[in-house]
Structure 1
Amino acid sequence: MTDLTTPGAYLEAMRAEAPLVHCITNYVAMNIAANSLLAAGASPAMVHAAEEAGEFASFAAALTINIGTLSPDWVEGMTAAARGAREAGVPWVFDPVAHFATAYRRQATEALMALRPDIVRGNASEILALAGGQSTAKGVDARDPVHAAEEAARRLAGERDTIVAVTGETDFVTDGVRALRISGGSPLMPKVTALGCSLTCMIGAYAGVKGADLFDATAAALAYFAVAGARAEAAAEGPGSFSVHFLDQLALVDGAALDAANRMEVA
């Protein structure tokens, strides 16, 4: 087994294993999320029907659930998948998109959080609200800076026994004890729809590596996106070309380049 001591080692191990990542994500994100995982070297599967989601999650390397576009049938599939993953010991990642916006989203989020996600990824507004704090956001976009959600993330991670990743201009990840900030990326990233959703799926790919420490795996996935984003911006003329270059960079960045970028600092 690869010695998983650096983000680059995680990237190389993920590519060698090509983990099957069961992604339940929103309509907007399906294409870019699948393409991001393929470019990185993972194997995506978009399976959401309740009739098969639980069984499928039980043999995937990781499960990711994103509540961006909810419906009763999809919630049933998400619940079945989370239960299947939990029972099989498969790590699962939860992306509580705009969970505070409506009563239906709040109810779905409460039910899924009760199934104990291993990792929660959201923007600062989502994490603040999930931890019981006050957020200025009303929809899917973050209105709060990442630093404003750091203490809430630490508290949420400790209370829920999970890894919490807050993503934005500078990412923050904590397990309630350890914490890191990851810099990089590009201001063009929020101008391309569903890159945050794709990052949730990428965290699943890293979490699915055999022998992964889920805190380190999450940080490594964040660093990978940050490096790919910075490199894509250097070649892009705007959001459209950035999207293309970003997928290219997900394929082109290797373990040595990821480690050389040194995007992490202890928080």
Structure 2
Amino acid sequence: MSFLAKVQAQNPLVHNITNMVVTNFTANGLLALGASPFMAYAHEEVTDVAAMASAVVLNIGTLDPYTVEAILQAGRSANQAGVPVVFDPVGAGATPYRTESAIQITEHVQIDVLRGNVAEVANVIGEQWHIKGVDAGAGEGNMVEIAKQAARQLKCIVAITGEKDVVTDGNTTYTIANSHSILTRVTGGGCLLSAVVGAFIAVADPIESQERLNAVVEALAFYGIAAEIAYQQTAGQGTGSFQIEFINQLSLVTPDIVSTHSKIAKV
């Protein structure tokens, strides 16, 4: 059974501490996929929610000290409960505060998946890569090698998204060539992807490392295929129509479509 089919059958509870810009988009995307979103931020409940969730997704998009503390509490609670953690270091490298917060989180929480663009991932592990706001700028370096270095340094799966996505555990590496550039013009495209990764890894065997890696690879392929089909359906209509159709496709893309349309290569 594909991981998409497992998500649809199991309806995993995904606890999100995400940014205010994308909360609604993220929740609707998870619901379309077949997962169950839970947005909880209060210090009084984040540890309880994280412990009962199927996956925890931590996102520093709109950052302040209260949110950082909520993330640390939820992450530690998830670690203690054996719940997988996905970390999206939005904008790491853009300001010292973002970079320091991202590093602090990786030092105090054992993350299972680091999902970001190449600049964000590079800055989390102390490598220099230009970033413009929350978007990766031009940089010198090899995206695959940055991903491998981050995976080995943080002992987790790393998913770097870009023109071609890279997923690695530091030993085994895949590229995924599904997606469409219009996603970069929709606020929250990357943030929702991190939440989708959370839903997929939630249904993977927590002990089988290759299965967890495969779950992340399938999540990115599924997401990219949904974007490709949504663009085809709304070509010429603009980003607003695309965004609505993209949510539609997250509920319409089947495991068979993923199997036949995936562009996955082992590096």
**Alignment CA distance shift 1:144-1:218 (3 Å):** farther
**Alignment CA distance shift 1:209-1:87 (3 Å):** same
Q: Residues of 2 paired with 1:154 and 1:84: CA distance?
A: 27
The letter for the 2-side match of 1:91 is P
User: Could you tell which deviates more after superposition, 26-35 or 133-142?
Assistant: 133-142
Instruction: Report the secondary structure of 1:215's partner residue.
Output: helix
Correspondences of 1:123-138 after superposition (within 5 Å): 123-138=117-132
Q: CA deviation at 1:130?
A: 2.0
Instruction: Report the secondary structure of 1:84's partner residue.
Output: helix
Please tell me whether residue 241 in structure 1 is matched to residue 241 in structure 2. Answer: yes
2:41·2:70 contact (CA, 8 Å) conserved in 1? yes
Q: CA deviation at 1:145?
A: 7.3
Correspondences of 1:90-239 after superposition (within 5 Å): 90-114=83-107, 115-144=109-138, 148-211=142-205, 213-236=211-234, 237-239=237-239
Deviation string for 1:109-161 (max 9, x for gaps)? 12210111110000111112223222121420111479832101101101211
Aligned to 1:258: 258
Q: Residues of 1 paired with 2:67 and 2:140: CA distance?
A: 30
Q: CA deviation at 1:71?
A: 1.3
Q: What is the TM-score with the length of structure 2 in the denominator?
A: 0.94
Instruction: Report the secondary structure of 2:98's partner residue.
Output: helix
Deviation string for 1:192-230 (max 9, x for gaps)? 111100000000000111526321111111011111010
Aligned to 2:20: 27
Equivalent residues, number:
260
Aligned mate of 2:4, from 7, 11, 14 = 11
2:99·2:123 contact (CA, 8 Å) conserved in 1? no
Which 4+ runs in 1 deviate beyond 4 A? none
Q: Residues of 1 paired with 2:171 and 2:140: CA distance?
A: 18
2:114·2:159 contact (CA, 8 Å) conserved in 1? yes
1:51·1:77 contact (CA, 8 Å) conserved in 2? no
Q: Residues of 1 paired with 2:213 and 2:88: CA distance?
A: 16
Q: Residues of 2 paired with 1:210 and 1:176: CA distance?
A: 19
Deviation string for 1:38-76 (max 9, x for gaps)? 000000011111111011101100000000101111111
Q: Residues of 2 paired with 1:226 and 1:106: CA distance?
A: 28
Aligned to 1:6: none
Q: Residues of 1 paired with 2:139 and 2:227: CA distance?
A: 19
1 or 2 for the larger relative contact order (CA 8 Å, sep ≥6)? 1
The letter for the 2-side match of 1:199 is L
The letter for the 2-side match of 1:249 is Q
The letter for the 2-side match of 1:23 is N
**Alignment CA distance shift 1:72-1:225 (3 Å):** same
The letter for the 2-side match of 1:64 is V
The letter for the 2-side match of 1:162 is C
Q: Residues of 1 paired with 2:181 and 2:140: CA distance?
A: 14
Instruction: Report the secondary structure of 1:164's partner residue.
Output: strand
Q: Residues of 1 paired with 2:139 and 2:195: CA distance?
A: 23
Q: Residues of 2 paired with 1:21 and 1:145: CA distance?
A: 33
Q: Percent identity?
A: 39
Q: Structure 2: any 5+ residue segments left out of the alignment?
A: none
Q: Residues of 2 paired with 1:69 and 1:107: CA distance?
A: 14
1:124·1:146 contact (CA, 8 Å) conserved in 2? no
Q: Structure 1: any 5+ residue segments left out of the alignment?
A: 3-8
Instruction: Name the Cα RMSD after superposition.
Output: 1.5
Q: Residues of 2 paired with 1:44 and 1:146: CA distance?
A: 37
Instruction: Report the secondary structure of 2:142's partner residue.
Output: helix
